[in-house]
Amino acid sequence: MGVKSALWLAKPFKLSLLTFSVCAMQILSGCSVDNHGAVVAKVTAAEGSYVIDAFALGASLRTRADDPGVSIGFDRRSYVYAGAAADAPEPGWHYFAVPLPASAPLVLHSENYGVEVRGRVNDAGVTIGYRATTVMAQVPAGESTFRLISYAPDSPERTRVLACGDWPCQ
């Protein structure tokens, strides 16, 4: 009777171990490193700027100085850069590689469902669950500039970046 009870307990354990293994393989099978790998991006031209929305599923490692970290789950990152459409990557969808410029973006929007470890100077931490953050107007230390920035994560085509000589921007 004791052996039969132990076998009865072993079956659910084997099933849960199998379920966990299948889920872990699904999550870890999609991975990206520095926006190369299991990643999809959309480049959108906007007024005075362009927006790069990058979507990754699975494990994602980011080593850029302006956005270091690692995430497991679903990760959406949006980068807004100032500049004419000629400076931007080709508008449209890009697969397996995100065409990010070397310079830091003016706006960084991130959404993560899962686990994320962030290493940014102004936003270091760990999240388990869901987190959405938008960091606006990232300007290098020692630089003085006036910009009018309008950005909505769900409508990248409505993004607007105006560089101004003096305040107020018009």
User: In the chain, what are the domain boundaries?
Assistant: 30-164
Please determine, for residue 90, whether its predicted confidence score (pLDDT) is greater than 60. yes
pLDDT at residue 93, rounded to an integer = 95
Closest alpha carbon to 95 in 141, 137, 36, 151: 36
Q: Examine the pLDDT at 26 and tell me if it is beyond 60.
A: no
d(CA 42, CA 94): 6
- For 170, residues 6+ apart whose C-beta sits below 8 A from its C-beta are 164
Chain centroid to Cα 89, Å, comes to: 18
pLDDT of 130 reads 94
What percent of the chain shows pLDDT beyond 70?
A: 76
Residue 68 identity (one-letter amino acid): P
Comparing 11 with 89, the larger pLDDT belongs to 89
Q: Which residue has the higher pLDDT, 22 or 111?
A: 111
If DSSP codes are grouped into helix, strand and coil, which group holds residue 6? Answer: helix
Compute the distance between CA of residue 169 and CA of residue 150 in angstroms, rounded to an integer: 12
Cβ-proximal residues to 35 (8 Å cutoff; 6+ apart), any chain: 41, 54, 56, 62, 97, 98, 100
The region of weakest confidence among 19-28, 75-84, 91-100, 136-145 is: 19-28
C-alpha dist (Å) from residue 4 to 1, 15, 118, 146: 5, 17, 48, 75
Average pLDDT over residues 84-95: 79
Evaluate the omega torsion of the peptide bond into residue 168 and state whether it is cis, within 30 degrees of 0: yes
The 10 Å Cβ neighbour count of residue 38 is 17
Give 35-84 pLDDT, tens digit per residue.
Answer: 888 899 999 999 888 999 999 988 999 998 888 999 999 999 999 998 86
158 DSSP 8-state letter: G
> pLDDT at position 34, please?
86
pLDDT value at residue 35: 83
